[in-house]
Amino acid sequence: MIEVRNLTKKYGDHLAVNDLSFTIENGKIYGLLGPNGAGKSTTMNIITGYISATDGTVRIDGHDIAEEPAEAKACIGYPPLYTDMTAAEYLDFVARAKGMPYDAALRQEKEVMQLTGIEPVKDRLLKNLSKGYRQRVGIAQAMLGDPDVIILDEPTVGLDPKQIIEIRDLIKKLGS
């Protein structure tokens, strides 16, 4: 569960997020909607501990992201990509960074590759993959370690209509 309370973010004098509160329950898929500049990415970056809030609190499964960042972040999957690695190397790297035991890592790497349909491209460099496949790799790495929360910022941006449907189906699968 994610609990956001009275979240405010100022960049200098610029108010990017203004007193935002919401609760996100387990097993559900939520979207943050709003025009460019509404503060969606800022909110997600605060929830994931990537930047700090000016005011307000975020708790992930009861852990305050500012006070217990390691515990809170352990509950979250949020995908950045290093594009000079192959998909398989990247998943392995992420599994190690998450501190997963070797056997569990091997097993889960296979599982998430199957679920996201990236097995056929696992030995290709990420920078040579289509946007749709790169998005899948991002989702696959976010799934490693079974986090309670997966946060995706514009997961279908730049994808073609077929890829958008595929990514939406994949997100539905994750939610269940």
- CA atoms of 16 and 41, how far apart (whole Å): 10
**Site map 26..55 versus Mg ion, x via CB under 5 A:** --------------xx--------------
**155 lies in the site for ligand ADP, by CB under 6 A:** no
Q: Does 48 bind ligand ADP (CB under 6 A)?
A: no
Amino acid at 16: A
Q: How many CB atoms lie within 10 A of CB 59?
A: 19
CA–CA dist 94, 147 (Å, integer)? 13
Indicate which single residue of 4, 7, 20, 40 sits in contact with ligand ADP (rule: CB under 6 A): 40
Nearest approach, Cβ of residue 55 and ligand ADP (Å): 15
Q: Is 19 in the site for ligand ADP (CB under 6 A)?
A: no
- Per partner kind, with CB cut-offs from 5 to 8 A, the member of Mg ion, ligand ADP, none near residue 14 is ligand ADP
39 lies in the site for ligand ADP, by CB under 6 A: yes
CA distance 28 to 176: 8
What is the closest distance, in whole angstroms, from the C-beta atom of residue 158 to ligand ADP in the complex? Answer: 15
Comparing CB distances to ligand ADP, the nearer of 47 and 94 is 47
- For 9, the token pair is 């973010």
Give the other-Cβ count within 10 Å of 152's Cβ: 19
Which listed range, 33-41, 78-86, 93-101, 164-172, lies at the site for ligand ADP (CB under 6 A)?
33-41
Tell me the C-alpha distance between 65 and 13, whole Å.
24
Size of the site for Mg ion (CB under 5 A): 2
Q: Is the dihedral of CA 25, 94, 99, 115 positive or negative?
A: positive
Residues at the contact surface with Mg ion, assessed by CB under 5 A: 40-41
